[in-house]
Amino acid sequence: MNSGGPHDLTLSVPRLFFGYATGGNLLFPLSVGGTSILAPEWPTAEGIFNQVKCHRPTILINTPAMIAKMLDWAEQHPNECDLSSIRLMTSAGEKLPSSIYDRWVRIFPNTPLCDGLGFAEHWYFVSVNRPGEIRPGTVGRIIPSLDVMICDEEGKQLSDGEEGAASFRDGWFVPGDLAKLVPDIDGHRRLVYVGRSGSYFKVSGRWVNADEVTDTLLQHSAVAECTVLPYEDQGGLTKPAAFVVLRPDHQVDEDTLKTYVLTKLEGYKCPQRVIFLAELPRTPLGKVDLAALKRQLKEIPTTQPAVDEHEDGLGIDIDETSS
């Protein structure tokens, strides 16, 4: 990826104590003679647009959570969202939902959104999309000089297209992320980020990918942010729960969201509980604070009737239609 040059001015949503920002807004810009903007205030969607207007940066280091907030702001203030100076914007820190990417391309078609995957131990990206060769649904190509291997639970290397644990050289660093490599028409392989290994849990003996349920809920027009977690019901069985933040001026109830999920996913994947929040709690690094949400789940009594996990909401028995 063309990470910058001496004429680039970089603005970062994450603060410098976040490894993603340390690399993207300090080490790499300065290493090529570029300039970094260090904003003292905590970032907001309005504040980011104001800083872009004032300083005219060429690179914006961003996160999915802030991208979603910027899109909401842009829809409410279409005349106050000039990003014409930005030649590329990166996204990392958490998985970028396809619904957010699609909204970005629709509202800001001239500002490339380059999704990538990185780790604090690496300071920056290990894989990233590049302007002109963005492949939606992937985190792009592995950066030069870095190898990746996808392994099964026993450490055996998997073939392209097979999902497993991502391991990186040197020493096959295993960060705990699930991914797969897919070939592309240009001869390069792209990395598809599936999620953290802990995002999978079993419901009635069947695997649920929390990221899949989250992405489905985010496709609803009223949902701004969402996180799905497992919890134990009164009988001690594991079920999905969803924490949802609604978009400004949108209203929707729990049953409506459950019905929406049931039209798209199998019944056992449907959240048995939907908890509405004004905002998702976040750690100092800007990631969703899962521990805080798990504590909240234990404190909130179950009041809604359970969804029939054997039906998909369309009257179709799951056991008869899925393998």
Q: Flag whether 153 is in a domain.
A: yes
Considering the domain architecture, whether residues 162 and 256 belong to the same structural domain is answered as: no
Specify the CATH number for the domain of residue 53: 3.40.50.12780
Of 175, 197, 219, the one marking the end of a domain is 197
Q: Flag whether 323 is in a domain.
A: no
CA distance 101 to 98: 5
Please give the distance of CA 161 from its chain centroid, rounded to a whole number.
21
- Residue 308's pLDDT band (boundaries 50, 70, 90)? low
CA distance 38 to 222: 34
**Residue 182 has what pLDDT?**
93
Question: Phi and psi at residue 131, in whole multiples of 5°?
Answer: -55, 135
Of 136, 169, 197, the one marking the end of a domain is 197
Q: Flag whether 4 is in a domain.
A: no
Considering the domain architecture, whether residues 125 and 227 belong to the same structural domain is answered as: no
Q: Which residues pair with 273 in a beta bridge?
A: 241
Q: Flag whether 141 is in a domain.
A: yes
Considering the domain architecture, whether residues 162 and 187 belong to the same structural domain is answered as: yes
Please tell me which of 108-122, 192-206, 226-240, 263-277 the model is most confident about, judged by mean pLDDT.
263-277
pLDDT tens digit sequence for 118-146: 887 777 788 999 999 999 999 999 888 78
**Quick one: CA dihedral 144, 178, 262, 266, positive or negative?**
positive
Considering the domain architecture, whether residues 20 and 134 belong to the same structural domain is answered as: yes
Considering the domain architecture, whether residues 85 and 134 belong to the same structural domain is answered as: yes
Report the percentage of the chain scoring pLDDT > 90.
52
What secondary structure does DSSP assign to 14-76, as a single string? Answer: S-TTSHHHHIIIIIHHHHTT-EEE---SPP-HHHHHHHHHHH--SEEEE-HHHHHHHHHHHHH
Considering the domain architecture, whether residues 156 and 186 belong to the same structural domain is answered as: yes
Instruction: Kindly give the residue spans of alpha helices, DSSP state H, lying in the chain.
Output: 19-22, 28-31, 45-55, 64-76, 98-107, 210-218, 254-262, 290-299, 318-321
Considering the domain architecture, whether residues 188 and 276 belong to the same structural domain is answered as: no
pLDDT tens digit sequence for 175-188: 878 899 998 887 78
> Count of domains in the chain?
2
Q: Flag whether 103 is in a domain.
A: yes
**Residue 40 has what pLDDT?**
86
- Residue 3's pLDDT band (boundaries 50, 70, 90)? low
Question: Phi and psi at residue 51, in whole multiples of 5°?
Answer: -65, -40
**Residue 244 has what pLDDT?**
97
| Mean pLDDT confidence for 33-52 | 93
pTM of the model: 0.74
Considering the domain architecture, whether residues 149 and 230 belong to the same structural domain is answered as: no
Specify the CATH number for the domain of residue 279: 3.30.300.30
- The average confidence (pLDDT) of the chain is 86
How many helices (DSSP H) and strands (DSSP E) are in the chain?
9, 16
**Residue 314 has what pLDDT?**
35
Considering the domain architecture, whether residues 181 and 89 belong to the same structural domain is answered as: yes
Considering the domain architecture, whether residues 192 and 233 belong to the same structural domain is answered as: no
Interhelix angle 210-218/254-262, rounded to 10 degrees, is 110
Residue pointed to by tokens 């359970």? 306
Considering the domain architecture, whether residues 36 and 169 belong to the same structural domain is answered as: yes
Question: What is the span of the domain harbouring residue 302?
Answer: 204-318
Considering the domain architecture, whether residues 185 and 85 belong to the same structural domain is answered as: yes
Asked if 258 and 269 count as a contact pair (C-beta separation under 8 A), the reply is: no
Of 176, 197, 218, the one marking the end of a domain is 197
**Residue 34 has what pLDDT?**
93
Q: Which of 133, 117, 151 is nearest to 188 (CA)?
A: 133
Q: Flag whether 63 is in a domain.
A: yes
Residue pointed to by tokens 């989250």? 214
